[in-house]
Every structure is written in C-alpha cells, then in structure tokens.
Amino acid sequence: MRRGRRAVLASAVTAAAVVFSALIGGALSTTTAQAAVSEPCDIYAAGGTPCVAAHSTVRALYAAYSGSLYQVRRSSDNATANIGVVAAGSVANSAAQDSFCANTSCVITIVYDQSGHGNDLAYQGPGGSGGTDKPSNATSESLIVSGDKVYSLYINPGNSYWHNGSSSGMPLGSAPQGAYMVTSGTHVNGGCCFDYGNSETDRHADGAGAMDAINFSTSCWFGGCSGSGPWVQADLEYGLFSGGSQSWNQGQRAFPNRYVTAMLKNNGTTQMALKGGDAQSGGLTTLWNGSLPPGYNPMHQQGAVILGSGGDCCASGGGNLSLGTFYEGAVVAGYPSDATDNAVQANIVAAGYGGTAGTPPPSSPPPSSPTPAAGAPLHAVGAGKCLDDPNSSTTQGTQMQINSCSGQAGQSWTHTASGALSLTVGGSTFCLDANGQGTSPGTKAIIWSCNGQSNQQWNLNANGTITGAQSGLCLDVTGASTANGAPVELWTCNGGSNQQWKLGG
C-alpha cells in the first residue's frame, strides 16, 4: 500500500450570474451573463485560470461544449459507444447509454477531456491506459441533474483512470494549479486513495510535492480530524494534508452530504487553500488558506491526471483500495480567485443535483430524506410473485423473499428520489439494504432503518434489472425459484428471468 511505504431555476442562475459578473470586473451585466449561461470552465477562463483538463459523466462544463462526455463498452460484444450531451452545454444523453447497454452490462472505459487539451482519462488496466485496474460499471448509480437522468463514475476498489498530461497543458514543476470536483459523501472509505488532480507520470512515489490532487475519503493520515469524515484534503505525495502541517487543522470538518464540492488550489511555492461545500445548496467553507507543508515548497508536479487512485497505483500490481463517486471536475492553470471559486460553486448548485426527473433544477435543496409517495408492489416478473417482507416484519435484518402478491403493507415499495426502495410497515419506514454493505454475490437483501448509505440505493434499469448502487450486482431470486418464500439476494447480473422486476402495475 502506497501510504504504508511513504513518510436551471432563474433564482439560482441569476445568483451565479451576479457573482460571475462581479468576477470579471462588471464587464458583463447580469442579464448578459445569464444569456451566456456560463458553466464552470467558462467561469474559470473569465477569471484568468483556464481549464486544462475537464471531465464529467453528467454534464458539459462549457456552455458551448457539444462533444462526447465518456465512452462505454458493453459485455455482450465488446462494442463501444461515445455518450455525448443532449444539446450543447447540457446534460449527458443517458437514453443513448440505456439503448446501447440494453439487455447487457456496460463499463466506462474513457472519460473525455472537454478542455480541448486531449487529457482524456482511460481506465488503468489492460486495454486502457496500462496497469492492473478495471473500468467502472456504467450503471452503478443514476441520479438527476438539471431535471434529467444521468450516470455517475462510480469507483469501487480496483477501478481508476489515468492520463499522462505532461505535454498537454497540465501544470508542471512549481506552476500554480487549481482543481475542483463534485463527489459524494455517502460512498467513501479510508482506502488509498480516492484522488483527482495532478500526479506522477511514471506511476511511482517520486517524493514530496510530486502530486497535487484533491483527496476525499475517511482517511485522516496524521490524526486529529474533526468528526468521522469524509474530509477534503490535499494529496501532495507522502501524505494527505488537511492544512499546512502534519498536525491537526482546526478548520477541518467532515462533509457527509450526498453531493459534495471539493476544491484545492496551490500556488506551487508558498500557499495552498482547501474548500468544501454542499453541492446542492449554500456556499463554500474554507478549510485551509495558508502555507504549504514544510518540504513541499516548491512543488514538483509531473502532469499526469489521476482519478480514483493514488500516484503509485496500478502500474504493476499496486493495490488500489479506494472507493468514491465522481460526477464532474476540472484542473486549471493558475491560482483561482475566491470570487472564481464562489462562482463555480453557485453554478454547481444551480445545476440541480438530486432533483426530480422532468423538472427544472430546484431553487432550494431537496430534503435529505425525501418523503416517499404511495407505495406499489415490486413484481418478480419471472416468478409471477412480489417482493415480500415476511409477515410484514419490523425486525431489522429480515431477509426479503418472494410471495404471492397480496397488496399488504409488506409488499408496498417506493423508489424515492434518493434512490432508496422504502417500505412502511408497523408505523416505521425501512429500506431495502445490502446486508453488511456486501458487494459479493450471495449478499442477502434485507430491510434496515433508512440511513442514506449507498448499500440502500438501487437503480431501476431500463432492461428490467435492479442493481445495487454500491455493488453493481442484480437483485436476484435465489436459484431462479418460483416458490413462495424463496429468498432474495444480490447476484452477478446474468440476464435471467429471476433478475427481472417491475415496480407497480
């Protein structure tokens, strides 16, 4: 292990436009800025710190961008397809992915660079950018952005992406750099290392300052971090830093929100800043704004772009133990101003992460625990039965089964805006849960108190399967049984009729 061996609603858009107008010295009126519909990389460019790498699986990061966002590869025939945007400056065309991946599974092989510098991220593994990792499942997590369904880049241990950008615009040496990403505080761990930013070109640990990447995880390497995480930190090589030293940064705080904005900027010689915020509402919290750690001034950036792993991962069997979620992010040349940071955050909030499909982005954040609508039976199509909570049990950990459809409370399921499948019995609401946060075939499907964790989030796919957001496995009737009482579990998706489900009807 690397660480072990190294010492659009008008109100929201208007608010963003006002900040953007102020950022460029009033050269644009608020009305003009609204008309321009500036996205994050337009805002960075206006502030004099242009994007040199810009990645997202959910939306365009330039108002004029109309190219591909990412590439998927399907398992049935290894064919690939590029997934673009619905229109210039808009969200990903998830319908194109759903059509291409229907009745099979897909992985994300490339995340394209929107900046024009060619810093496309390929997965670190055979057939990708080289190494031992594998590409991420393309349908592990769906979400809503700007009122439309999109998919995240859902990183589990053994998934990561990389590109050598040393000759394509990435900051080198002690050149100043800024970076941001939108990630999730509900799909995290302390493994090494969920990073996005500047890393080594040789994929080895090359010394202090060889990396300049955002880290988002529950790993507090030097101890003393506030709360239980996850935290926004700087991976500068040989350490995760929450501030300018190896001691506790009093300004550090955790960000367990469903959607999180994380920022790092570094002038390369004397100063860095860390910021974080809720990507659905509000502004940024400055976690650190001060000196670089001793021994890291000047920096020694090499210019590779890393996503989902640390600097010395995956070249020749190096372990990648991290997990995390990536929605969007960019690396910029220069040290962004605070006004630029604030304008980017306002734009992210206006994008409407976690809204309701078919509606504009919310003017205020949705509730963290959406109130479920009236429930409906969840049909096990192959068996002609329904997903059933035995005897309408209110005991946490009860394994779900199939049973004759009865219309009773123990068969009334609701797919909430947060992705949960909830069930209200005995006056209490429970969620369908992957037992013990299991990610291996055979994990029991149980009920548990709703907690918003990724093992309680489920994707209802166009091909009739229901997949766990954390595991990517399919909800499965054990042994393809059609008998009442047959247990339900998670299993590798195989196209079987016992993995076909329909909510309602």
Tens of each residue's pLDDT in the chain, 505 residues: 333 333 333 334 344 444 444 444 433 333 333 334 799 999 999 999 999 999 999 999 999 999 999 999 999 999 999 999 999 999 999 999 999 999 999 999 999 999 999 999 999 999 999 988 999 999 999 999 999 999 999 999 999 999 999 999 999 999 999 999 999 999 999 988 999 999 999 999 999 999 999 999 999 887 667 778 899 999 999 989 988 776 656 668 899 999 999 999 999 999 999 999 999 999 999 999 999 999 999 999 999 999 999 988 875 555 688 999 999 999 999 999 999 999 999 999 999 998 655 544 444 333 333 333 458 899 999 899 999 999 999 999 999 999 999 888 899 999 887 788 998 888 888 999 999 888 888 999 999 988 878 889 898 887 889 998 888 889 999 999 999 999 999 998 888 889 999 998 6
In DSSP notation, 12-80 reads HHHHHHHHHHHHTTTSS-HHHHHHHT--HHHHHHHTT--EEEEEESSB-SSTT--SEEEEEEETTT--E
**Residue 316: its pLDDT value, please?**
53
Distance between alpha carbon 411 and the CA centroid of its chain, in Å? 31
Pairing of strands 177-183, 304-307: unpaired
Domain at 3-350: CATH code? 2.60.120.200
The predicted pLDDT at position 252 comes to 80
Q: 237 an active-site residue?
A: yes
For residue 355, the model assigns a pLDDT of 66
Residues 46, 127: Cα–Cα separation, whole Å: 38
- The label of the residue with tokens 């009860």 reads 398
d(CA 64, CA 446): 46
Look up the CATH number of domain 378-503: 2.80.10.50
Residue 433 phi, psi (nearest 5):
-140, 135
Tokens 């640390």 correspond to 310
For helices 10-23 and 338-350, give the axis angle rounded to 10 degrees.
Answer: 160
Matching residue, tokens 């591909």: 68
* Sign, CA torsion 290/23/232/162: negative
Whether 312 is catalytic: yes
Give the residue extent of every domain in the chain: 3-350, 378-503
Other CB atoms within 10 A of residue 287 CB? 24
The contacts of residue 25 (CB under 8 Å, 6+ apart) are none
Query: H-helix or E-strand containing 344?
Result: helix 338-350
Nearest to 349 by CA among 329, 325, 365: 365
Which residue of the set 113, 133, 237, 389 is catalytic?
A: 237
pLDDT reported for residue 224: 66
Residue 290 has phi, psi (to 5 degrees) of -175, -150
pLDDT of residue 438: 86
Closest CA to 237 of 280, 271, 204: 204
State the pLDDT at residue 247: 61
197: Cβ–Cβ under 8 A, 6 or more apart, which residues? 177, 179, 211, 212, 213, 214, 235, 264, 305, 306, 331
Give the Cα separation of 440 and 468 in Å (integer).
11
pTM of the model: 0.68
Lookup result for tokens 């994007």: 51
Choosing from 312, 328, 341, 476, the catalytic residue is: 312
**What b/e readout covers 359-397, taking b as 16+ CB neighbours within 10 angstroms?**
eebbeebbeeebebeebbbbbbebbebbbbbeebbeeee
Copy the structure tokens of residue 357.
């499909």
CB 258 within 8 A of CB 418: yes
Q: Is the Cβ–Cβ distance between 273 and 253 less than 8 Å?
A: no
CA distances in angstroms from 388 to 401, 411, 450, 463, 478, listed in the order given: 5, 5, 17, 22, 14
Same fold, 3-350 and 378-503: no
Question: Residue 2: its pLDDT value, please?
Answer: 38
> Which residues fall within 8 angstroms of residue 129, CB to CB, at 6 or more apart?
121, 122, 123, 161, 162, 163
Closest CA to 156 of 394, 349, 440, 423: 440
Contacts of 386 (CB under 8 A, 6+ apart): 377, 378, 379, 380, 402, 403, 404, 405, 406, 411
